[in-house]
Amino acid sequence: MNDLIGESFIGESLACLRGERVVFAGLDFALGSGGALLLTGANGAGKSSLLRVMAGLLPPAAGQLWWDREDVTREPEPHRARVAYLGHQDGVKAALTPREDLIFWLRYRAPRLDKRAAEARAAEALDWAGLKALGDLPCRVLSAGQRRRLALARIVFDASARLWLLDEPTSTLDAAAAQSLNERVASHRAQGGMIVAATHQALDWPDAISLDLDIYARRRAAAATRGLFLNDLA
């Protein structure tokens, strides 16, 4: 495991409630610079909820999130700037072109990036996503896999992102696209970036820590039969 030198991202006894149902409780994780975490578990085990908690979109029902010594739940603003999140939806607008989409998101995430630099970077990202020929057509003509690649390209070429949070990143990708994503993940980690991914597929990421959310479902089921409450789950 990583020795937590440099930046670190740590969750302590996190709990998450969805509609008064405990999804998980007493969840701990620790990521160091260059670390990768793979979330596994059955559908509904809480992988997506945990990613939203890590992104600061969903406040945890209990527990703390730390970035270095900074309490993320108390100060979400700086955390939002360093997180790049991709949920199971791509957020691609049918009426915009892939090039416009990339230029907008690159500049939105990095306000100091000037227009020409953003255009050059977007061209590079289009090339990476294999969308060079489709760059100026509306996104409604893209297939599901191409939309996914576009959404991933926003993150891969976002220099400000220290922590990538990806929900099922490879589910609609072909083998070649998954391979080029793996290469980008490796170089992101080599530069000290962190990554958390929820997945059902085996991802070939060296030294990735696995976190199985099914154990929380089993604890929850055991607790329910004995009539225990949230605190007893931890």
Partner 1 sequence: MNGFTLLLARDLRLAWRRPADAAVALAFFIVAACLFPFGVGADQQLLTRIAPGVLWAVALLATLLPLERLFLADAEDGALDRLALGPHGLATLVLAKAAAQWLIVALPLLLAAPLVALLLNMDGRGFGALIAALALGTPTLVLIGTVAAALATGARRGGVLLALLALPLELPVLIFGAGAIDAALAGLPFVSHLQVLAGLLLGSLVIAPFAGAAALKLALE
CA within 13 Å, CB half, 54: 34
* CB-based burial label for 140 (10 Å; 0-12, 13-18, 19+): exposed
* Residue 122 engages partner 1 in binding (rule: CB under 8 A): no
Smaller CB separation from partner 1, 96 or 209 = 96
Instruction: Determine the distance from the C-alpha atom of residue 57 to the mean position of all C-alpha atoms in its chain, rounded to a whole number.
Output: 12
Candidate residues 6, 28, 88, 224; the one interacting with partner 1 per rule CB under 8 A: 88
Candidate residues 111, 116, 227, 229; the one interacting with partner 1 per rule CB under 8 A: 111
How many angstroms separate the CA atoms of 40 and 169, rounded? 13
* Residue 20 engages partner 1 in binding (rule: CB under 8 A): no
What's the CA dihedral at 30, 31, 37, 43 to 10 degrees?
Answer: 40
The count of residues interacting with partner 1 (CB under 8 A) is: 34
SS3 100: helix
* Residue 145 engages partner 1 in binding (rule: CB under 8 A): no
Which residues ranging from 31 to 70 are in contact with partner 1 (CB under 8 A)? 52, 55-59
* Residue 83 engages partner 1 in binding (rule: CB under 8 A): yes
How many angstroms separate the CA atoms of 44 and 130, rounded? 33
How many angstroms separate the CA atoms of 192 and 170, rounded? 22
Candidate residues 4, 62, 92, 234; the one interacting with partner 1 per rule CB under 8 A: 92
* Residue 220 engages partner 1 in binding (rule: CB under 8 A): no
How many angstroms separate the CA atoms of 229 and 226, rounded? 9
Smaller CB separation from partner 1, 80 or 218 = 80
The structure tokens 């939203």 sit at 52
* Residue 84 engages partner 1 in binding (rule: CB under 8 A): yes
* Residue 107 engages partner 1 in binding (rule: CB under 8 A): yes
CB 56 → partner 1: shortest distance, Å? 7
Q: Kindly list the residues in this chain that would bind partner 1 in the complex (CB under 8 A).
A: 52, 55-59, 77, 80-81, 83-93, 95-96, 100, 104-105, 107-111, 115, 138, 154, 160
